[in-house]
Chain A
Amino acid sequence: GAGVSQSPRYKVAKRGQDVALRCDPISGHVSLFWYQQALGQGPEFLTYFQNEAQLDKSGLPSDRFFAERPEGSVSTLKIQRTQQEDSAVYLCASRKRQTNEQFFGPGTRLTVL
């Protein structure tokens, strides 16, 4: 069956450029998570949705980061005025109702020059 998909897989941006990263969760999964993974580190939580509601955005590092999930399925993580420190792999995960296991996508590797 289809897992979590993310696009693009790779993105190179010039400093100051805006980027949008897309996540398609597993069909029927209510919860959706975004994580940021720096090179050689574990994933770090950014934000969490239940359906279309963004219930936790405590991990977003600055107001340049914005996430949405308007119809409760596909989600977009937007980064405005990208900085070099934004370079990382951005992982999306989804989870079905009343379970703990999060299923991860392959990630989008963002490189800011």
Chain B
Amino acid sequence: GESVGLHLPTLSVQEGDNSIINCAYSNSASDYFIWYKQESGKGPQFIIDIRSNMDKRQGQRVTVLLNKTVKHLSLQIAATQPGDSAVYFCAENDGGNEKLTFGTGTRLTIIP
């Protein structure tokens, strides 16, 4: 079946550096993608989203890139801070379904 997966389960980044978290998806019908941040003991928190008619979207310190040709999604976090340490999930929705399909997650650790 369709799945959303991540390339790396863990990522350690020096504080102040930029980080890139990658995600691959397999459902070519997916038309909406979201990045969530989940801290320990909390529910997923929305970071940024992008629709399939776009290839880049920027927020505050975050940028999402979408490459539909290779079915790849990435989240770039600029000037990482200790508070960015969390597990990051990509999720997708194919428009025909209301549910979100999540990837396994990448644990981002910021090294002081």
Contact = CB atoms under 8 A, between A and B. Distances in A.
B45 interface: yes
B99 A41 contact: no
B104 A106 contact: no
A76 interface: no
A100 B49 contact: yes
Interface string A3-23: 010000000000000000000
Interface residues of B, number: 23
Nearest to B107: A40
A104 B98 contact: no
B42 A106 contact: yes
Contacts, number: 56
A33 B102 CA distance: 14
Interface string A73-95: 00000000000000000010100
A100 B43 contact: no
Contacts of A72: none
A4 B45 CA distance: 12
A25 interface: no
Contacts of A102: 46, 100
B105 A41 contact: yes
Given A56-B98, A100-B49, A42 B89 contact: yes
B82 interface: no
A105 B102 contact: no
Given A101-B34, A106-B42, A42 B105 contact: yes
Of A4, A33, A104, A105, most buried by chain B (CB within 10 Å of CB) is A104
A91 to B, nearest CB: 6
B101 interface: yes
B93 interface: yes
A48 B98 contact: yes
Q: Which 4 A-B pairs have the closest CB atoms?
A: A42-B102, A104-B43, A45-B99, A104-B44
23 contacts: A33-B100, A42-B89, A42-B91, A42-B104, A43-B44, A43-B89, A43-B100, A43-B102, A45-B100, A45-B101, A48-B98, A56-B98, A91-B43, A91-B44, A93-B43, A101-B46, A101-B49, A102-B100, A104-B45, A106-B41, A106-B42, A107-B42, A107-B43
